[in-house]
Structure 1
Amino acid sequence: MKNKKKVSFWEFFQGLGKTFMLPVALLAFMGLLLGIGSSFSGESTIDALPFLGNQFLQIVFRFMSTIGAFAFSYLPVMFAMAIPLGLVRKEKGIAAFSGFVGYTIMNLSINFYLTENSLLADPEELREAGQGMVFGIQTIEMGVLGGIIAGLLVYQLHKRFYTIQLPDSLSFFSGVRFVPIITSLVLAVVGLIIPIIWPIFAVVITGIGTLIQSAGVFGPFLFGAGERLLLPFGLHHILVAMVRFTEAGGSAIIEGNQIFGALNIFYAELQQGLPISGDATAFLSQGKMPTFIFGLPAAALAMYHAATPKNRHKIKGLLISGVVATAVTGITEPIEFLFLFISPLLWIFHVIMTGLGFMIMPLVGVVIGNTDGGLLDFLIFGIMQGNYTRWWMVIVIGAIWFAFYYFVFKTVILKFDLKTPGREKVTDETEYTEEETHYKKKGSYNVPEMIDALGGAQNIEVVDNCITRLRLVLKQGAIVDDNKLKELGALGVVHLGENNVQVIVGTKVTSVRNELDSLLYD
């Protein structure tokens, strides 16, 4: 082989998006547990539906909430492990282990920097300071971006060092054992750099908060769009905390006390039985409802319809659980993470539409508070509060959002052939014959000649394998030399379409696949 196949920038990000499916699938399920458990154990829900206050039911709901919170508390480290696990081609277990090591050490290093420079925030002010807890380590709150940074760095380190040979005196640390070692060193340095550059982002967000307060009717748009835009970086907590609890979210005199922050104002008015201020709710649940209850479920429906028909049954459960978590409880990550890293265009569309939802709701007179933006908020703080909330306008605007989201998502997915769930390049389900499951070629395969028979390295886009077959996605399946492959020892060649080809290799398929990977990618 003269030329080794290079993975293009786009192919890399397609592969990166695929690695996210493992934590996202868990996130969808855990989102249901967390959303239902936390919603039905909340004081406002119990006040509205007193039978839910039953002690046994509350224990069940609190248990569901505790278990469901796992995925959201540890989502960044799951990304740090899933990215190298999915991207590396060999020694995947070491890659995932190194992802955990690297992410933890990065946060320990951040904590060391904050401690040495007396920058650790008081426990009750963590979110306002942009800090959080990771495995008991007080660190900068970076959200999933922290996990992605660690995961990508570990992937590059693994690819570079997993075959390294050290001098004889250090030979014990050679090969895969060196990967977590070099990961520890590199991520420790990265952890010292992050606190130096991260305050720049906090300053920008503070400026945004000031801008929101002075932007009039466009203030809610800036808040809603900014909050979604910052979500992947874990910086949205700073913006949300500013608007909910400081002057950036407004001020009001209630029972002789000056109250700052949109959420504080809303709760104070609710507690005193006063008319709810539309200026406060403009930054609360109502702005999320068109997107959360209608828009994202429509996006999920578009992804379902855009999937290949034979794959729809495989993704139905994932999408349904994501829709329930999003629409009922306002936990949106299970749906958003299905397209966030695949299509920046769809993400920007989603950011803008969320901002528009925040802007339009107060303009049409909707007055619905609280924080989640799901059906429970819509029921408890909208419908059950009376007609003055103008809750029916949420349905009117939501219907428009549903149609718009569905049209845009389906059009973009199909036009750009985005690999949303169910659209991955896959082969048909295989029925294995007894002959191929026991087939074992005498001697080894000449893999370089097999590559030539497949049309050359430039013709091979994706290499995978099952228990007996090489599963290949090719640019041109028609140029494959079936007879040559059989001469080289293949039991048979199956063409499943213009691009999908399976080469029946038998019990030696794993070693052939590994040699193919080595020749094409290393």
Structure 2
Amino acid sequence: MSNHNKTGRMMEFLQGLGRTFMLPVALLAFMGLLLGLGSAFTSQATIETLPFLDNNLLQVLFRFITTIGAFAFSYLPLLFAIAIPLGLAREEKGIAAFSGVVGYIIMNISINFYLGETASLANSEMMSEAGQGMILGIQSLQMGVLGGIISGIIVWRLHTKFYKTKLPDAFAFFSGTRFVPIITSLVMAIVGLILPIFWPFFASFIQGIGKVIGSAGVFGPFLFGASERLLLPFGLHHILVAMIRFTDAGGTQIINGETISGALNIFFAQLESGLQISGEATAFLSQGKMPTFMFGLPGAALAMYHTALPENRNRVKGLLISGVVATAITGITEPLEFLFLFISPLLWIFHVIMTGAGFLAMSVLGVVIGNTDGSLFDFIIFGVLQGTQTRWWMVIFVGLIWFAIYYFFFKMIILKKDLATPGRRSPRVKGTNYTTEELNYESNNLDYNVKEMIHSLGGSENINSISNCVTRLRLSVKNSENVDSQKLEDLGALGVIKLDNNNVQVIIGTHVESLRQDIEKNL
């Protein structure tokens, strides 16, 4: 296999892996909101401010909400072990998910057996120091999300290879999809015996990444925030984010006698336990996005509106407003970002640097607001409602500065470079022409010409597989040269990214899943 094909396959795998992370992370984000609400309304400071909350029935309800909100945090490795084979499998996804559960449990049972046979099982007081913990009632290595990821990837490979297996007639009952959990059981049992030998090397590598970030001091959050935005066009930012949120790379702390790894895990554990929130953890979380997401990008949208030709402003208003709402309220930024990403590398690099600077500013100013999205919901639930110790007012102070900087910089560059942002009708630039259809596009408009989009993708014979993340179609194609980027944009796409000869992303917006389903039906 040529190096080009190997690179293409690796890129496709990494994109797909990052996409599968979104399923447990989306659940975690919602459960985090419940956990935040519950903890906010059971805190003594909130009760003193709002005395009517000091009601036994209400407090039981809020404690129940907190307990439910902690669910995803407690079982996150298992969720990854299920989501990865489910998301990566192209057929028989239910069997892949079922095998993911089987594989993860058997791997930990096998690890427990190895530790027992080698007299390495620690007692309850020493489990944390020994790097062990209770996983689904099984004492095993404390691998966290990485354990779920390792298990999920192996199970996916087994599913892909064996789900069509045909056995001799005497064993025909175990053929096909029934064979997948069987082979999964055997292979993951062996993996569980091998992992304790090699796990220290995995752990050292991840800890090394954490030390590099930690050694950067206050610039650690800047490097993380800027790198995350820089990777976004390629769809690989989810992998970096997952590493910081869920592994030793994002820090390690002992909370209530249990070793917790990953910035988001640490934040949720402290929130659930009522402990003081760690600024070292939240430095990589929601707070860093807020200056850019809640203020900066809306400032950029206002600049694009004011630089549009007067006769076009009413037409671009819906496009820009829907992008601002998605960014500020939900933390979904792509509908706005892809309006300038393909037009001006200068604006994109500015945006990357300003996002990193937002993380740096929040950390230096001592803000402690966690969770995942950097949205208004996070600001209210994990900032305002948690009390003055979060220093939430600093977000508004810095945000107003970010709004002004984004607005004036975008307006200056758009006018100086005569950029083809929406409504300006500049000469056609490849990949950036905004037609009447796109200018009229709003977030609730699903009237895509699906057959024409398939034709523009090179036809059904050119499409190997299709999936989606939050805002974009992700396609594996036979030849990306057969994909007509300009035609796709004329049909309503916000942009097209050809990662290599076999991997293409089409930026659609928040209703991308409905479009993907329509395309699959037509295929």
TM class, shorter-length: 0.5 to 0.7
TM-score in terms of structure 2 length: 0.54
Deviations 1:26-45 (A, max 9, x none): 33322221221123223454
Counterpart CA distance in 2 for 1:395 and 1:377 is: 14
Which amino acid in structure 2 is aligned with residue 24 of structure 1?
A: V
- Summarize the Cα distance change of 1:294–1:105 in structure 2 as closer, same or farther, 3 Å threshold: farther
Match of 1:241 among 250, 254, 264: 254
Q: CA deviation at 1:150?
A: 2.0
The 3-state SS of whatever aligns with 2:179 is: helix
Counterpart of 2:74? 73
How has the CA–CA distance of structure 1 residues 83 and 370 changed in structure 2, closer, same or farther, with 3 Å as cutoff? closer
Q: How does 1:240-319 map to 2 (within 5 A)?
A: 240-241=253-254, 283=280, 290-291=287-288, 293-295=290-292
1:161 CA displacement? 0.8
Which amino acid counterpart does residue 15 of structure 2 have in structure 1?
A: Q
Q: Report the secondary structure of 1:155's partner residue.
A: helix
RMSD: 6.2
Tell me the number of residue pairs that the alignment of Structure 1 and Structure 2 aligns: 388
Aligned partner of 1:356 in structure 2 is: 360
Residue deviations 1:154-176 (CA, integer Å, cap 9, x gap): 22111111111223332222211
| Cα distance in 2 for residues equivalent to 1:105 and 1:202 | 21
Q: Quick one: distance in 1 between partners of 2:110 and 2:300?
A: 40
Aligned equivalent of 1:179: 180
Contact 2:76 2:145 in 1 (8 A): yes
Alpha-carbon distance in 1 for matches of 2:464, 2:72: 33
Q: Structure 2 residue aligned with 1:460, among 449, 463, 474? A: 463
Alpha-carbon distance between aligned partners in 1 of 2:37 and 2:381, rounded to the nearest angstrom: 10
Structure number with bigger Rg:
1
Contact 1:39–1:45 (CA under 8 A) maintained in structure 2: yes
Q: Which residue identity lines up with residue 134 of structure 2 in the other structure?
A: M
Which amino acid in structure 2 is aligned with residue 460 of structure 1?
I
Give the superposition deviation at 1:88: 2.0
2:105 corresponding residue in structure 1: 104
CA distance, structure 1, for counterparts of residue 10 and residue 321 of structure 2:
28
TM-score (norm 1): 0.54
Structure 1 residues not aligned, in runs of 5+: 247-262, 271-279, 324-344, 409-413, 433-449, 465-470, 479-494, 501-509, 517-522
2:298–2:403: 8 Å Cα contact kept in structure 1?
no
Quick check: 2:77–2:147 contact (8 Å CA) kept in 1? yes
Q: Distance in 2 between matches of 1:403 and 1:126?
A: 52
Deviations 1:99-146 (A, max 9, x none): 111122122222333333444455466556544433222333333332
Residue number in structure 1 paired with 2:84:
83
Alignment-derived partner of residue 10 in structure 1: 11
Any idea what SS the aligned residue of 2:143 has? coil
Assess, with a 3 A threshold, how the Cα gap between structure 1 residues 160 and 472 changes in structure 2: closer, same or farther: closer
1:436 match: none
Equivalence for 1:256: none
Output one character per residue of 1:473-493: Cα deviation in whole Å (capped at 9) or x when no partner.
Answer: 885478xxxxxxxxxxxxxxx
Given that residues 225 and 351 in structure 1 are in contact (C-alpha distance below 8 angstroms), is that contact kept between their aligned partners in structure 2? no
Write the deviation string for residues 164-214 of structure 1: whole angstroms up to 9, x where unpaired: 12233322222111111111122222223333233345557878999999x
What is the DSSP-based 3-state SS (H/G/I as helix, E as strand, rest coil) of the residue aligned with 2:139?
A: strand
Per the TM alignment, residue 289 of structure 1 is displaced from its structure 2 partner at its CA by 7.5
Q: Distance in 1 between matches of 2:246 and 2:106?
A: 19
Contact 1:110 1:194 in 2 (8 A): yes
Confirm or deny that 1:199 pairs with 2:200.
Answer: yes
Q: Does the CA contact (< 8 Å) of 2:106 and 2:188 recur in 1?
A: yes
In the other structure, the counterpart of 1:443 is none
Aligned-partner Cα distance in 2 for 1:497–1:370: 37
Cα deviation code 1:295-319 (max 9, x no counterpart) = 565699799999xx88997997898
Q: 1:393 to 1:18 in 2, by over 3 A?
A: closer
What do residues 339-386 of structure 1 show as CA deviations (whole Å, max 9, x unaligned)? xxxxxx99x98996687357623xxxx5x7898896667558874x7x
Q: What displacement does 1:61 show? A: 0.8
SS of the equivalent of 2:116 reads: helix
Assess, with a 3 A threshold, how the Cα gap between structure 1 residues 51 and 77 changes in structure 2: closer, same or farther: same
CA distance in 2: counterparts of 1:55 and 1:428, whole angstroms: 51
Structure 2 CA distance, aligned partners of 1:124 and 1:224?
38
Could you tell me which amino acid in structure 2 is paired with residue 96 of structure 1? A
Residues 290 and 397 in structure 1, CA contact (< 8 A), matched pair in contact too: no
C-alpha deviation, 1:224, in angstroms: 9.5
Q: Note the C-alpha offset of 1:152.
A: 1.8
| 8 Å contact kept, 2:37–2:381 | no
Equivalent runs, 1:95-174 vs 2, <5 Å: 95-123=96-124, 129-174=130-175
Whether the 8 Å CA contact 1:221–1:357 is kept in 2: the answer is no
Q: CA 1:114 to 1:22, structure 2 compared with 1: closer, same or farther past 3 Å?
A: same
* Structure-2 separation of matches of 1:302 and 1:461: 40
Whether the 8 Å contact between 1:224 and 1:355 is mirrored in structure 2 is: yes
Kept in 1, the 8 Å contact 2:21–2:80? The answer is yes
State the AA in 1 paired with 2:27: L
* Partner Cα separation in structure 2 for residue 390 and residue 90 of structure 1: 49
Note if contact 1:228-1:351 (Cα within 8 Å) is conserved in structure 2: no
Q: 1:394 to 1:156 in 2, by over 3 A?
A: same
Contact 2:103-2:151 at 8 Å conserved across structures? yes
Structure 2 CA distance for partners of 1:204 and 1:153, relative to 1, 3 Å = closer
**Partner residue, 1:338:** none
- 1:30-49 map, 5 Å: 30-47=31-48, 49=50
User: Conserved in 2, the CA contact under 8 Å of 1:304 and 1:316?
Assistant: no
Change (3 A) 1:123 1:18: same
Corresponding letter in the other structure for 1:170 = F
Q: What are the ranges of 5 or more consecutive residues in structure 2 without an aligned counterpart?
A: 225-239, 260-269, 305-317, 333-348, 372-377, 411-420, 422-429, 433-440, 468-474, 485-489, 497-505, 507-516
* Contact 2:82 2:101 (C-alpha < 8 Å) held by counterparts: yes
Corresponding residue SS for 1:166? coil
* Alignment of structure 1 residues 414-493 onto 2, 5 Å: 428=447, 457=461, 459-460=462-463, 462=465, 476=482
Provide the C-alpha distance between the structure 1 equivalents of 2:431 and 2:59, rounded to a whole number of angstroms: 47
Partner AA of 2:74 in structure 1: S
Q: Where does 1:263-412 land on structure 2 (aligned, <5 Å)?
A: 283=280, 290-291=287-288, 293-295=290-292, 320=329, 356-357=360-361, 360-361=364-365, 383=388, 395-397=396-398, 399=400
Structure-2 change in CA distance of 1:393 and 1:105 (3 Å): same
Distance 1:224 1:18 in 2: 24
Structure-1 separation of matches of 2:106 and 2:405: 44
CA-to-aligned-CA distance 1:402-437 (integer Å, 9 cap, x gap) = 7899999xxxxx9999xxxx99xx9845799xxxxx
**Conserved in 1, the CA contact under 8 Å of 2:109 and 2:192?**
yes
Give yes or no for contact 1:28–1:321 (8 Å, CA) kept in 2: no
- On the 8 A contact 2:111/2:193 being kept in 1, the answer is yes
Amino acid at match of 1:291: G
